[in-house]
């Protein structure tokens, strides 16, 4: 039982929601105390500065939802890791399934973005997960193995320990259809096994692996109790202060 070796991280993924004024209001409502879980809110780019100011001295950390892999240059519309770092961002979601589905994200670009984030001192939250077709075709493990190996190729053991992985079955995102606690636990355990084969058990035991996909105030405690589930990446429920607070408290047992 190695759960105690890892940090529990509860991260809200606001996606493309909230104006600056609404963001400041929601953050004001977030009541976070206790220290068993690290709490992060990943807000739209335009809200990063507002959010960094609004969390003030609290323990809530700020994350972005994407980052470009180059340091600077002719990449219209993109944002670099150094730009994020400068305004107080500490985490960044990489390879979310919505980016893979709508914006051409691949395991290769996930790998490059993760490299850029680590180089700048940001903590990457790398998302992986199978489609419904893939689960039904019984190839979930193949998909998770490929995404883990390609997404995290070329990093040292020390770098791997800094990366958070979010297991998000695509069929459970925004659908209200949650993986069962057993399915979530099994998949997160499998991903840990893939890392163990490459980097050894000590490294694998140190990596925080979150579950994401319709996690909410009701199901969080059971999901988070799983041995290999070290936190959550929460979309819809992170936009409701009370529900997000309940999830944070569930992580704190």
The catalytic residue positions are 96, 168
Stretch near ligand PGA under the rule CB under 6 A, chosen from 45-53, 61-69, 232-240, 244-252 = 232-240
Compute the distance between CA of residue 135 and CA of residue 155 in angstroms, rounded to an integer.
28
Residue 128's nearest CA partner among 139, 113, 140, 119 is 140
Mark the segment that binds ligand PGA (CB under 6 A) among 109-117, 135-143, 156-164, 234-242.
Answer: 234-242
Q: Pick from 129, 151, 185, 236: which binds ligand PGA (CB under 6 A)? A: 236
243 binds ligand PGA (CB under 6 A): no
**Residue closer to ligand PGA (CB basis): 4 or 176:** 176
Considering only residues 122 to 181 of the shown chain, the ones binding ligand PGA according to CB under 6 A are 168, 173-174
Out of 164, 233, 247, 251, which residue is the one contacting ligand PGA (CB under 6 A)? 233
- Is residue 8 a contact partner of residue 208, using CB atoms and an 8 Å limit? yes
Residue nearest ligand PGA, CB atom distance? 235
Among 6, 9, 13, 92, binds ligand PGA (CB under 6 A): 13
Member of 23, 179, 215, 247 binding ligand PGA (CB under 6 A): 215
Among the residue ranges 20-28, 102-110, 129-137, 208-216, the one whose residues contact ligand PGA (CB under 6 A): 208-216
Comparison of 199 and 236: residue with beta carbon closer to ligand PGA? 236
DSSP H helices, the chain, are 20-29, 48-55, 81-86, 97-102, 107-120, 132-136, 140-151, 157-162, 181-199, 201-206, 220-224, 241-251
Q: Which residue, 27 or 173, has its beta carbon nearer to ligand PGA?
A: 173
Compare residues 151 and 212 and give the one whose CB is closer to ligand PGA: 212
HEC profile of 51-88: HHHHHCCCCCEEEECCCCCCCCCCCCCCCCHHHHHHCC
Interface with ligand PGA includes 101 (CB under 6 A)? no
3-state secondary structure at position 213: coil
Q: Does 183 bind ligand PGA (CB under 6 A)?
A: no
Binder of ligand PGA out of 183, 208, 214, 249 (CB under 6 A): 214
Which SS3 state, helix, strand or coil, does residue 8 take?
Answer: strand
Closer CB to ligand PGA, residue 128 or residue 234? 234
Contact call for residues 55 and 62 (beta carbons, < 8 A): yes
What is the maximum span of the chain, computed from C-alpha positions, in angstroms? 48
Classify strands 91-94 and 61-64 as parallel, antiparallel or unpaired: parallel
CA distance 252 to 38: 10
Rounded to a whole number of angstroms, the minimum distance from the CB of residue 163 to ligand PGA is 16
Task: Give me the torsion for CA of 182, 187, 189, 192, rounded to 10°.
Answer: -160
Residues that bind ligand PGA (CB under 6 A): 13, 168, 173-174, 212-215, 233-237
């Amino acid at each position: 039982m190695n759960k105690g070796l890892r940090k529990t991280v509860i991260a809200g993924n606001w996606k493309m929601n909230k104006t600056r004024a609404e963001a400041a209001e929601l953050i004001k409502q977030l009541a976070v105390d206790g220290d068993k879980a690290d709490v992060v809110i990943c807000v739209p780019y335009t809200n990063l500065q507002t959010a960094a100011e609004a969390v003030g001295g609290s323990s809530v950390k700020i994350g972005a939802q994407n980052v470009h892999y180059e340091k600077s240059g002719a990449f219209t519309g993109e944002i670099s890791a150094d730009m994020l770092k400068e305004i107080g961002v500490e985490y960044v979601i990489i390879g979310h399934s919505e980016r893979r589905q709508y914006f051409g994200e691949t395991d290769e670009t996930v790998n490059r973005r993760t490299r850029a984030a680590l180089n700048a001192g940001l903590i990457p939250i790398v998302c992986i997960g199978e489609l419904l077709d893939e689960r039904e075709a019984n190839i979930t493990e193949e998909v998770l193995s490929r995404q883990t190996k390609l997404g995290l190729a070329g990093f040292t053991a020390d770098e791997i320990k800094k990366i958070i992985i979010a297991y998000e079955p695509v069929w459970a995102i925004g659908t209200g259809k949650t993986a069962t606690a057993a399915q979530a636990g099994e998949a997160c355990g499998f991903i840990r096994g893939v890392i163990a084969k490459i980097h050894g058990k000590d490294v694998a035991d140190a990596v925080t692996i979150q579950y994401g996909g319709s996690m909410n105030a009701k199901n969080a405690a059971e999901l988070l109790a799983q041995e290999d589930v070290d936190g959550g990446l929460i979309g819809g429920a992170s936009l409701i202060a009370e529900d997000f607070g309940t999830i944070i408290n569930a992580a704190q047992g």
